[in-house]
Amino acid sequence: MDMIDKFMHAVLSITFFVFFLHYRLFTSLVATARSLFKENVSGKVVLITGASSGIGEHVAYEYARRGACLAVVARREHRLRQVAAVCEIIGSPEAVYIVGDVAKMEDCQQFVEATVSYFGHCKQPIRRLDFGGFNFLLVFDVVVTVDHLVTNAGVTPEINFWGSVYSTYYAYGHLKKSKGKIIVIASSTGWLFAPRLSFYSASKAAVISFYETLRYEFGGDIGITIVTPGLIKTEMTDGKFLSKEARLQLDPEMRDVEISVMPLESACECGKAIVAGSCRGDNYLTVPHWYEWTKLWKVFCPGIMDRWIGFLLMPCNSHNEVPTKKLTHFVNGLTQFLSS
Query: Helices 292-300 and 302-313: crossing angle, nearest 10°?
Result: 110
148-151 and 181-185 strand pairing: parallel
Specify if 5 maps to a domain: no
Specify if 258 maps to a domain: no
The tally of domains found in the chain comes to 1
Kindly compute the dihedral angle of the four CA atoms of residues 55, 57, 63, 66, in this order, to the nearest 10 degrees: -110
Active site residue 200: yes
Average pLDDT over residues 110-127: 76
User: Are 255 and 239 within 8 A, CB to CB?
Assistant: yes
- List the domain range (segments joined by +) for residue 90: 38-234+266-339
Region of 237 please: left (phi>0), alpha (psi -120 to 50) or beta.
Answer: alpha
Helix (H, G, I), strand (E, B) or coil at 222: coil
Q: What is the pLDDT of residue 327?
A: 58
Specify if 183 maps to a domain: yes
Q: With 0-12 CB in 10 A as exposed, 13-18 as middle and 19+ as buried, what is 251?
A: middle
231-263 tens-digit pLDDT: 888 776 665 555 555 555 656 556 555 555 567
Which amino acid is present at 201?
Answer: S
CA angle 177, 112, 219 (to 5 degrees): 35
333: pLDDT strictly greater than 70 = no
169: pLDDT strictly greater than 80 = yes
126: pLDDT strictly greater than 50 = no
Specify if 310 maps to a domain: yes
Specify if 247 maps to a domain: no
Q: Which long-range contacts (CB under 8 A, 24 or more apart) does 321-324 make?
A: 322/257, 324/256, 324/257, 324/258, 324/259, 324/260
CATH code where residue 97 lies: 3.40.50.720
Q: How many CB atoms lie within 10 A of CB 62?
A: 23
Give the H/E segment covering residue 189: none
- What length is written for the chain? 340
**Please, what is the average pLDDT of the chain?**
80
Outline where the chain has alpha helix (H).
Answer: 2-36, 54-65, 77-90, 105-122, 157-158, 164-178, 198-218, 252-258, 267-280, 292-300, 302-313, 323-339
Average pLDDT over residues 272-290: 93
User: What is the rounded CA–CA span in Å between residue 110 and residue 118?
Assistant: 12
311-320 tens-digit pLDDT: 666 555 555 5
The CA-atom distances, in angstroms, between 111 and each of 3, 67, 102, 126 are 56, 21, 9, 26
Specify if 210 maps to a domain: yes
Helix (H, G, I), strand (E, B) or coil at 137: strand
Residue 287 is classified by DSSP as E
Specify if 10 maps to a domain: no
88-100 tens-digit pLDDT: 999 999 999 999 9
Specify if 322 maps to a domain: yes
4-23: string of b/e by CB count within 10 Å (b at 16+)? eeeeeeeeeeeeeeeeeeee
Q: What is the pLDDT of residue 157?
A: 78
Q: How many CB atoms lie within 10 A of CB 275?
A: 26
Higher-confidence position of 203 and 19 = 203
Query: Helices 77-90 and 54-65: crossing angle, nearest 10°?
Result: 20
User: Are 30 and 280 within 8 A, CB to CB?
Assistant: no
Give the H/E segment covering residue 42: none
Beta-ladder partners of 73: 49, 98
Residue 332 is classified by DSSP as H
Catalytic pick from 61, 170, 200, 211? 200
44-70 tens-digit pLDDT: 999 999 999 999 999 999 999 999 999
